[in-house]
Amino acid sequence: MLKLDITKVAPFVSAETIKGYAPRVAEAQKSLEAGTCPGNDFLGWLHLPSSITPEFLDDIQQTADILRSECDAVVVAGIGGSYLGAKAVIEALSNSFQWLVGSNGPAVLFAGNNIGEDYLSELTAYLSDKRFGVINISKSGTTTETALAFRLLKKQCEQQRGKDVARRVIVAITDAKRGAARTCADKEGYKSYIIPDNVGGRFSVLTPVGLLPIAVAGFDIRQLVKGAQDMEANNALAGEYAATRYALYAAGKKIEILANYQPKLHFVAEWWKQLYGESEGKDQKGLFPASVDLTTDLHSMGQWIQEGERTIFETVISVENPEHKLLFPSDEENLDGLNFLAGRRVDEVNKMAELGTQLAHVDGGVPNIRIAIERLDAYHLGQLIYFFELACGLYCQLLGVNAFNQPGVEAYKKNMFALLGKPGYEKETEAIKARLG
Ligand code: PA5
């Protein structure tokens, strides 16, 4: 099982202080179970893993197999919670050089998570000679970034592959009844999956939102779900992490930096940042979730972490066993003086870098939490996902915010639509024009 080590928080916040939050964590857990916490319409993720049936996973796998056999590339259109979970798991499980060495299935690409004209132009140009399919993911079914990408991709897919094939290789994952994505899927007869009403975007990786793209990429969704189920059944560490974060926040820490020592975990951190940032950043409260990839960023952000403002703490995700074995080579000339490492595992060097950094950061005034997983596979990622989700739900209650809404996200949309002259936004357009002069 996943391990949590908070001993290197002790110089900053005592173990007793953290334990002192245990009754509040227990209360928070009870109110999640009883559905009495703020945002209780969105608690579908809480027992989602144990509710997933083998038949449901078979259905997802069958759809994935159709896309895998009929496509050279599958584009996942979605933003925020409608893409980050899939991206995180696929990146973590893929060969780091898959673009060069190829994968044993279609390339899984992502779009609809930005409005970059160059990005979309280059994507559509790349797809112009490919047998491609699309997974259109939007809970609301109205998100501009996703809708734009989907319009482009649907048209291109129909033109390149004909309407009949397009109907087979376009899949929609959206609300059961509402939104343009649902209307379109029903009208066109696409295979579609429902995002449950009570599961918010950033908690949806274990619904078809994450499971279908992950299965299309060729990874084991059964093991992913099994890992999450085991963590759901054995979840005490999530409460400890929540209590530790809260104790550090109460002690004046404002930024949590999620650090990894495996480049494949970069997007796990991006997923985590959304989960925590969108859930807790409310009412002028909340830790700012940041991330670094180490040791890479020790040569860029390391100075700041070591000696900058002391309002940070660090949470390290450590992978105990790499998938491959590689030894540090010996060199006759030994110009770099590194022959003392010859014959030792590269991972040993990495682990000593991790430990050395952890000790240095603690000495520099940065509390350190360590989360260790045995290996980077679907099962352990499933554990990690549920661990972070539950800890988020618990922590937000300690903080006193509704973890499951995101009212602040609307502000930019309102201004963007007013600036673009969207019908119905006339008053806002006038106000913004007057403001900009
Ligand atoms: O967590 C959330 O709810 C958001 O990040 C959404 O996932 C994101 O805004 C995309 O929304 P939708 O799936 O409705 O297009």
Query: What was the pLDDT predicted at 101?
Result: 82
Under 8 Å between Cβ of 196 and 139 = no
Beta carbons within 10 angstroms of residue 331's beta carbon: 12
Amino acid 306: pLDDT: 98
Query: What is the value of pTM for the model shown?
Result: 0.97
Q: Which of 41, 76, 114, 139 to mutate to test the pocket of ligand 1 (most atoms within 8 A of CB)?
A: 139
- For 305-335, write each residue's pLDDT tens digit: 999 999 999 999 999 999 999 999 999 999 9
pLDDT band at 260 (very low <50, low <70, confident <90, very high): very high
Q: What is the pLDDT of residue 98?
A: 86
> 357: CA distance to ligand 1 center in Å?
36
Model pLDDT, residue 100: 81
The residue whose CA is least distant from atom 5 of ligand 1 is 80
CB distance 95 to 218 below 8 Å: no
11-66 confidence digits (pLDDT tens)? 999 999 999 999 999 999 999 999 999 999 999 999 999 999 999 999 999 999 99
Tokens coding 151: 């319009």
Distance 203 CA to ligand 1 centre (A): 10
State the Cα–Cα distance between residues 363 and 367, nearest whole angstrom. 9
Pocket test for ligand 1, best of 41, 84, 140 (most atoms within 8 A of CB): 140
142 Cα: distance to centroid of ligand 1 (angstroms): 10
Taking the centre of ligand 1 as the mean of its atom positions, its distance from the CA of residue 435, in whole angstroms, is 29
Any atom of ligand 1 within 6 Å of the Cβ of 210 = no
Task: With a cut of 90, say whether residue 287 has pLDDT above it.
Answer: yes
Output the pLDDT for position 16: 97
pLDDT of 141: 87
Ligand 1 neighbour 112 (Cβ under 6 A): no
Yes or no: domain 48-219 corresponds to CATH 3.40.50.10490: yes
Q: Is the pLDDT of residue 290 over 90?
A: yes
- Which residue owns the Cα nearest ligand 1 atom 8? 80
Lowest mean pLDDT among 122-131, 381-390, 406-415: 406-415
Q: What is the pLDDT of residue 297?
A: 98
3-class SS shares of the chain: helix, strand, coil, % to 5: 55, 15, 30
Within 8 A by CB and 6+ apart from 223, the residues are 377, 378, 379, 382
Residue 262 has a pLDDT of 97
Nearby residues of 177 by Cβ (< 8 Å), 6 or more positions away: none
pLDDT for position 122 = 98
Counting from 1 in the atom list of ligand 1, the atom nearest the Cα of 203 is 1
- The answer, yes or no, to whether any atom of ligand 1 lies below 6 A from the CB of 279, is no
CA distance 92 to 104: 16
- What stretch(es) of the chain map to CATH 3.40.50.10490? 3-36+226-399, 48-219
User: Is the CB of 144 inside a 6 Å radius of any atom of ligand 1?
Assistant: no
Ligand 1 and 192: CB distance under 6 A: no
Confidence of residue 108 (pLDDT cuts 50, 70, 90): very high
Average pLDDT value for residue range 246-270: 98
Nearest CA to ligand 1 atom 2: 201
Q: In the block, which residue shows the tokens 């974060």?
A: 245
Architecture of domain 3-36+226-399 in this structure: 3-Layer(aba) Sandwich (3.40)
Q: Which atom of ligand 1 is nearest to the CA of 202?
A: 1
Any atom of ligand 1 within 6 Å of the Cβ of 145: no
Q: Tell me: the pLDDT tens digits for 213-250? A: 999 999 999 999 999 999 999 999 999 999 999 999 99
Q: Are 195 and 174 in contact (CB under 8 A)?
A: yes
Residue 318: other Cβ atoms inside 10 A = 20
Using the predicted structure, report yes or no on whether residue 102 has a pLDDT greater than 90: no
Question: Mind listing the pLDDT tens digit for each residue in 120-140?
Answer: 999 999 999 999 999 999 999
Ligand 1: does its nearest atom lie under 6 Å from the Cβ of 229? no
Radius of gyration of the chain (CA): 23
First to last CA, the chain: 59
Per-residue burial over 307-317, b = 16 or more CB atoms within 10 Å of its CB, e = otherwise: eeeeebbbbbb
Q: Say what the pLDDT of residue 93 is.
A: 97
Q: Which residues contact 126 (CB under 8 A, 6 or more apart)?
A: 73
Comparison of pLDDT for 179 and 101, the residue scoring more: 179
Given the CA of residue 200, which atom of ligand 1 is nearest to it? 3
The mean pLDDT value for 424-432 works out to 94
Predicted confidence (pLDDT) per residue in 364-385, tens digit: 999 999 999 999 999 999 999 9
pLDDT 10s digits, 145-193: 999 999 999 999 999 999 999 999 999 999 999 999 999 999 999 999 9
Q: How far is the CA of 43 from the centre of ligand 1 (A)?
A: 16
- Strand partners of residue 259: 292, 316
Which one is predicted more confidently, 46 or 99?
46
Residues carrying an active site annotation: 278, 299, 413
Predicted confidence at residue 219, as pLDDT, reads 97
Query: Is the C-beta atom of 138 inside 6 A of ligand 1?
Result: yes
What does the mean pLDDT of the chain come to? 97
